[in-house]
Structure 1
Amino acid sequence: MNKNIQHLTDKNFKDYILNCKKYILVDFWANWCAPCRSLSVNLKKIQNEYINNLEIVKVDIEKNSNTALKYSIQSIPTLILFKNNKVLKIKTGFLSKEDLKFFLDKYIK
C-alpha cells in the first residue's frame, strides 16, 4: 500500500495540521535543492513502514512562503514533526534512510 506524499500549500496547511490525528512529518523543500530531492527519495522509501502512525507531507517554500516564514525555515531541507497541532521536533539537513528512521522512532514507536 503506497500512498502518495501530499503537497500542502499556505491555504491548506493549517487545516491539515489541525485535523490530522496521526503524527505528521512536514518536509520543507524547494525544487532546486539537491539534498531536498535526495531526502524525498528516503521519505518515499520509509513511508510504508509508518503508514499507520504517520502522514508525510511536503511544503515547497518557494510557492508557500507564508508557511515557511511562520515556522522560521532558514535552510532546507527542514523536517518538522507534529502531533496534535504541536511541534515535537525540528530537524534540518539531509538524513539517510537509517537516520530518518532513528529520528522518527524516538517519537513514534
Structure 2
Amino acid sequence: MSKFDEIINQDKPVLIDFFAEWCGPCKMMSPILKDLKDSLGDAVSIIKIDVDKNQALASKYQVRGVPTLMVFKNGKQLWRQSGVIQKNELMTLVQKFSY
C-alpha cells in the first residue's frame, strides 16, 4: 500500500490539494487551507501534493488543472473541484463528511 493510500484511508475527511509552485491561484489557496486547519484542527487532514513532483499520482486522479481539491474518507473520493475555493465552502464540505 502506498503512503498516499494510507493517508486517504483515514476515518476522518482528508482534503488533498493538488497544486504547482508556478500556479497563482494555488498560492491563494495556501492561506485559505491554513485558516481551515486552524479552525478545524484534528477534524481534518490537509495534504498538499505538488503535481510536478508527483506526476504519477496526478495522472492517476486525472488532475488536469491546478489547484484541484479532493476530499477522501476511508479511501473513497467523496468530492472534487478545481479552482480557488473559499474557506466557508470548504468548512461546510469537510463538516458534512465528518459524520
SS of residue in 2 equivalent to 1:80: strand
- Taking the aligned partners of 1:12 and 1:64, their CA distance within structure 2 comes to 12
- Taking the aligned partners of 2:34 and 2:20, their CA distance within structure 1 comes to 17
> Are residue 12 (structure 1) and residue 3 (structure 2) matched?
yes
* Percent of paired sites with the same residue: 35
Cα drift, residue 88 of structure 1: 0.4
Which residue of structure 2 lines up, in the alignment, with residue 106 of structure 1?
A: 96
Aligned length: 98
Mapping of residues 1-109 of structure 1, within 5 Å = 12-18=3-9, 20-108=10-98
- Taking the aligned partners of 2:50 and 2:41, their CA distance within structure 1 comes to 22
SS of residue in 2 equivalent to 1:37: helix
SS of residue in 1 equivalent to 2:79: strand
SS of residue in 1 equivalent to 2:81: strand
Cα drift, residue 71 of structure 1: 0.5
Query: What is the TM-score normalised by the length of structure 2?
Result: 0.87
Cα drift, residue 78 of structure 1: 0.6
- In structure 1, runs of 5+ residues without a counterpart are 1-10
- Taking the aligned partners of 2:83 and 2:27, their CA distance within structure 1 comes to 12
Cα deviations by residue, 1:46-69 (Å, 9 ceiling, x for unpaired): 102222321000110000001101
- In structure 2, runs of 5+ residues without a counterpart are none
- Taking the aligned partners of 2:6 and 2:97, their CA distance within structure 1 comes to 23
Say if 2:12 and 2:98, in contact at 8 Å, map to a contact too: no
Query: What is the TM-score normalised by the length of structure 1?
Result: 0.80
Amino acid at match of 1:57: I
- Taking the aligned partners of 1:100 and 1:15, their CA distance within structure 2 comes to 22
